[in-house]
Amino acid sequence: MKWTKTLALLLLFCGTTAIVKAQQIKDGETVNVNGIAVTYTIVNKEKINIKDQDFDRYKVLASVKNNSGKSFNIRLASSLDLSGISNSKIVELDCTNATGARLTSKKLQVGMKTHLINVTYYTKDKDGKSISAVMPVTAGYYFDQGQVIENDAIFIVPAGETPQVAVRSLLKN
């Protein structure tokens, strides 16, 4: 019983810590998250009906600008290094009242730009003749000082409500 109470208290503390790191953001507002300017904008709103219930469908745009005074770079060690993909995310916007209906989003993540390099390799064509071909390969991810990156999503919320959005940093310092 004592172990259960300790575990419940620990989970409550961890959940509270995650909430504290998130900042509320409203339509058209810009907030500073660790030197990253995050702007959230509602681009389009329409009313929809799903299974005889009314909802509001919002298309939203998140824009992030690096004002931190430094650039962020992730170099991949090998083609199988999948940790770079998750570490390349900059911020996450969480819509707490989104329903996720019709395969829409509840969260919106903005990630770093992909650094692609062209690799030349040799192969054979359909006649068996040796030819060279070029393939783009992801070498890493970057987010330079002053750079702006955008991403959009669709949030469906109950009718009459506006999206309640919180933003938090995902950058590993």
Domain boundaries, the chain: 24-169
Predicted local distance difference test score (pLDDT) of residue 17: 41
Tell me the average pLDDT across 122-133.
Answer: 93
Predicted local distance difference test score (pLDDT) of residue 82: 72
Cα–Cα distance for residue pair 23/164, rounded to 1 Å: 11
Percent of residues, the chain, with pLDDT higher than 70 = 86
Predicted local distance difference test score (pLDDT) of residue 128: 92
Task: Choose between 52 and 17: higher pLDDT.
Answer: 52
Cα–Cα distance for residue pair 156/137, rounded to 1 Å: 36
Looking at the predicted structure, is the pLDDT value of residue 70 above 90? yes
Instruction: Print burial letters for 65-97: b (CB count within 10 Å at least 16), e (below 16).
Output: bbebeeebebebeeeeeeebeebbbbbbbbbee
CA geometry: angle 5, 11, 17, nearest 5 deg:
135
Structure confidence by residue, pLDDT tens digits, 50-69: 889 999 999 999 999 999 99
Task: Round the average pLDDT of the chain to a whole number and report it.
Answer: 87
**Which single residue is written with the structure tokens 């990253």?**
36
Predicted local distance difference test score (pLDDT) of residue 66: 97
Predicted local distance difference test score (pLDDT) of residue 171: 87
Tell me the average pLDDT across 133-142.
Answer: 92
Closest CA to 40 of 110, 106, 102: 110
Predicted local distance difference test score (pLDDT) of residue 84: 75
